[in-house]
Amino acid sequence: MAFLPISKKDMEEQHIEQLDFVYVIGDAYVDHPSFGHAIISRVLQSHGYSVGIISQPDWKDENSITILGKPRLGFLISGGNMDSMVNHYFVSGKHRPTDAYTPGGEPYKRPDHATVVYGNLIRRVYKDSPVIIGGIEASLRRMAHYDYWSDSFKRSILLDSQADLISYGMGEKSIVEIADALASGIAVKDITFISGTVYKTKDIDGIYDGVRLPSYDEMKEEPRRYAESFQVQYCNTDPFTGKTLIEEYPNGVYVVQNPPQPPLTTQEMDAVYDLPYMRTYHPSYEEAGGVPAISEIKFSLVSNRGCFGGCNFCALTFHQGRTIQVRSHESIIKEAELVIKDKDFKGYIHDVGGPTANFRQPSCKKQMSQGVCKNRQCLFPEPCPNLEADHSDYLTLLCKLRALPGVKKVFIRSGIRFDYLMADSDDTFFRELVEHHVSGQLKVAPEHISDTVLSKLGKPKKEVYERFVRKYYKINEQLGKKQFLVPYLMSSHPGSTLKEAIELAEYLRDLGYMPEQVQDFYPTPSTVSTVMYYTGIDPRNGKKVYVCRNPHEKAMQRALIQYRNPNNYDLVREALIKGGREDLIGFDKKCLIKPRKMANQNQVQKTAGSKKTKSNNINRNDKSRNAEKSRNSGGAKNNGKKKTIRNVHKKK
């Protein structure tokens, strides 16, 4: 085994005169199946194509794109395992100080909108070479979309990047079909027939059964039309029922999205993860201290893909789809045995999961033959009557991994869908989870406790979470354990006013818990929630939604979740007064804060000079959570930073 070429010298040593593909990536080169570029490169290699890697080229220098020469078939581009803008910026707009996907964690090594910049760089140097873009950045921007960072409505990334094709979704099948078509001599402009791709054309007469979306100009002029378009797109994300979508642009240009590629079978998933990965970063990064992102995925195992959870703030439906795809036990155990042999392995498998760890089968029998329901969710607002909640296969897998020589503990860190867990009438897995797979605290994502907000989040009602909490602590008590829950909470999601934010603060008061980290809603491309944020309309029903866009109100909503923090006193007080809840300012145990004159003067004075602190708190957790999704949606597991939360969800 060897790393793929990153220089002419490597090409000579591997006896490659001209590469078939040059893959330009926004991340450091990490040859591990948790990185999308590694999977795509190794899949192409397994089909007989040579691939070289240009990692984080200097986008200001055209020569940086020529170091491997002109490829025979074309250039591939990925902005990285995360959208480059999420990677760069907090929701506040401030630049993140580090980049976990860059050697040494150094920031600023890739441009904003990396896929677009790299595409234009290549097009300036190699005008006639086919350019295919993919990865999460391209996948989620494949059609016209709202861009939070510029607060503008953007064209398809296919046009802005000057690329020829987008391979959207996970891409293993479509990229091989693209390669085979190019190798057979088909011009890239004529590759219009591959599932999981997006192309541009001026002639749509030959498209059968296509659906015309509102034009770009219509959507830009009237945001409601974008909400309508998005709902059509959302209902066509299934490979069994999805139709070809057509989006018109000025000058007679059309962007055409073919239906998604079919889901991988278990055998195909196994084949992808059995490829000869080096399982670490390129040795050229050692001097810089390596690539930080490797630490979270080095001892983790991907078990599944896809998610039928349907959270509105998540883009997995658009990237991986709602159909669950799984690896076999044998494949996962084989990889675990490789992990165990690593010199740094201490006996702890950090995670066995995917976008949602406890999804190991389709939600119902018909999905693999008829697809998912277009206008119905599997878990929201209540579990579908056809839902088959069964954890037996996942439990068997975890038991096998626990029994491997050298394994002390197997943790589950990629997230448990608690409403799916509660839908399972058999408590065996729940007990095993508590007894063997929790490292003192279990992270769960209720996101909010107001049913008004939860309905906009696509999450189950508060009552479901409370039943889960009671059951979790009851099982802990039965097993003689003292383990806690750490709930992820989100502020300022569409639908949340100060009233709902105060309701959440009261819930936390009664719980006796104040989270160290809070995620302010981050409007990323291709989510239902982002459409609500931009248009003020719920695309599912066309109804208006309250949207908190004012930075000061957003700060108040966030501060209410951390009302005990003295730095937040002024914001909390203002929020309570504006919300008509001055009854929560006082000395009663139900009050959130004391009157100002009784507050500790030193703390109040400290608040006045702590604007920087409050600003930095805007989204300490948003990178870890976006990276956590990205790890599953950029080619495999999320490799983003995870930060330890010391305060835990205490038992009532």
User: What's the pLDDT at 598?
Assistant: 54
Where do we find the tokens 């006013």? 497
Q: How far apart are CA 197 and CA 146, in angstroms?
A: 21
Q: Show the DSSP H helices in 62-211 as ranges.
A: 84-88, 114-125, 135-139, 157-160, 172-183
With 50 as the cut, is the pLDDT of residue 19 above it?
A: yes
With bands split at pLDDT 50, 70 and 90, how would you rate the model's confidence at 370? confident
80 φψ region: left (φ > 0), alpha (ψ -120 to 50), beta (else): left
User: What's the pLDDT at 342?
Assistant: 94
CATH of 8-197, one of 3.40.50.80, 1.10.1740.110, 3.50.50.60, 3.40.50.280: 3.40.50.280
Q: How far apart are CA 543 and CA 221, in angstroms?
A: 19
Instruction: Give the number of C-alpha atoms closer than 13 A to the C-alpha of residue 114, restricted to the C-beta side.
Output: 29
Q: How far apart are CA 241 and CA 369, in angstroms?
A: 10
With 70 as the cut, is the pLDDT of residue 339 above it?
A: yes
The reply to whether domains 8-197 and 293-562+617-633 share a CATH topology is: no
- Provide the 3-class DSSP secondary structure of residue 52: strand
> Across residues 503-510, what is the average pLDDT?
96
Q: Which of 93, 92, 69 is nearest to 10 (CA)?
A: 69
User: What's the pLDDT at 600?
Assistant: 52
User: What's the pLDDT at 540?
Assistant: 94
pTM across the whole model: 0.90
Q: How far apart are CA 379 and CA 471, in angstroms?
A: 19
With 90 as the cut, is the pLDDT of residue 619 above it?
A: no
Q: Would you state the torsion angle of the CA atoms of residues 350, 523, 560, 452, taken in this order, to the nearest 10 degrees?
A: -100
Rounded alpha-carbon distances, angstroms, from residue 231 to 196, 370, 374: 19, 20, 10
Report helix, strand and coil shares of the chain as percent, to nearest 5. 40, 15, 50
Q: Is 158:133 a contact under the CB 8 Å cutoff?
A: yes
Q: How far apart are CA 573 and CA 297, in angstroms?
A: 42
**pLDDT tens digits for range 392-433:** 999 999 999 999 999 999 999 888 999 999 999 999 999 999
Q: Show the DSSP H helices in 149-307 as ranges.
A: 157-160, 172-183, 216-221, 223-234, 266-273, 294-297
Rounded alpha-carbon distances, angstroms, from residue 360 to 207, 352, 364, 389, 530: 36, 11, 12, 10, 28
Q: Where are the domains of the chain?
A: 8-197, 293-562+617-633
Q: How far apart are CA 210 and CA 559, in angstroms?
A: 48
With bands split at pLDDT 50, 70 and 90, how would you rate the model's confidence at 596? confident
Percent of all residues in the chain with a pLDDT value above 90, rounded to a whole number: 86
Q: Token pair for residue 34?
A: 């948790």
Q: How far apart are CA 244 and CA 47, in angstroms?
A: 28
The helices-and-strands tally (H runs, E runs) of the chain is 26, 22
- Provide the 3-class DSSP secondary structure of residue 227: helix
**pLDDT tens digits for range 82-100:** 999 999 999 999 999 999 9
> Across residues 382-397, what is the average pLDDT?
95
**pLDDT tens digits for range 519-554:** 999 999 999 999 999 999 999 999 999 999 999 999
- The domain covering 293-562+617-633 belongs, at the CATH homologous superfamily level, to tm_1862 like domain (3.80.30.20)
- Look up residue 213 and give its DSSP letter: P
The answer, yes or no, to whether the previous bond of 214 is cis (omega within 30 of 0) is no
Q: Which of 225, 196, 420 is nearest to 307 (CA)?
A: 420
- Residue 326: φ, ψ to 5°: -130, 155
> Across residues 13-40, what is the average pLDDT?
98
Least confident segment among 15-24, 152-161, 354-363, 636-645: 636-645
Q: Is 175:36 a contact under the CB 8 Å cutoff?
A: no
Q: Token pair for residue 560?
A: 């209410």
Q: Is 417:379 a contact under the CB 8 Å cutoff?
A: yes
User: What's the pLDDT at 368?
Assistant: 74
Least confident segment among 406-415, 487-496, 618-627: 618-627
Q: Which of 112, 109, 233 is nearest to 168 (CA)?
A: 233
- Judge residue 508's burial from the number of C-beta atoms within 10 Å of its C-beta, 0-12 exposed, 13-18 middle, 19 or more buried: buried
End-to-end CA distance of the chain: 54
Least confident segment among 127-131, 372-376, 451-455, 482-486: 372-376
* CB burial readout 62-79, b (16+ within 10 A) else e: eeebeebeebbbbbbbbb
**pLDDT tens digits for range 152-191:** 999 999 999 999 999 999 999 999 999 999 999 999 999 9
> Across residues 608-619, what is the average pLDDT?
45
**pLDDT tens digits for range 234-262:** 999 999 999 999 999 999 999 999 999 99
> Across residues 94-109, what is the average pLDDT?
97
Q: Is 560:569 a contact under the CB 8 Å cutoff?
A: no
Mean pLDDT of the residues in the chain: 91
> Across residues 625-630, what is the average pLDDT?
45
Q: How far apart are CA 196 and CA 332, in angstroms?
A: 27
571: CB partners within 8 A, 6+ apart: 555, 556, 559, 560, 614
With 70 as the cut, is the pLDDT of residue 652 above it?
A: no
DSSP one-letter string for 286-310: GGGT--TTHHHHTTEEE-EE-----
- Provide the 3-class DSSP secondary structure of residue 249: strand
Q: How far apart are CA 179 and CA 74, in angstroms?
A: 9
Instruction: Give the number of C-alpha atoms closer than 13 A to the C-alpha of residue 604, restricted to the C-beta side.
Output: 12
User: What's the pLDDT at 612?
Assistant: 45
Q: How far apart are CA 70 and CA 126, in angstroms?
A: 8
Q: How far apart are CA 33 and CA 175, in angstroms?
A: 16
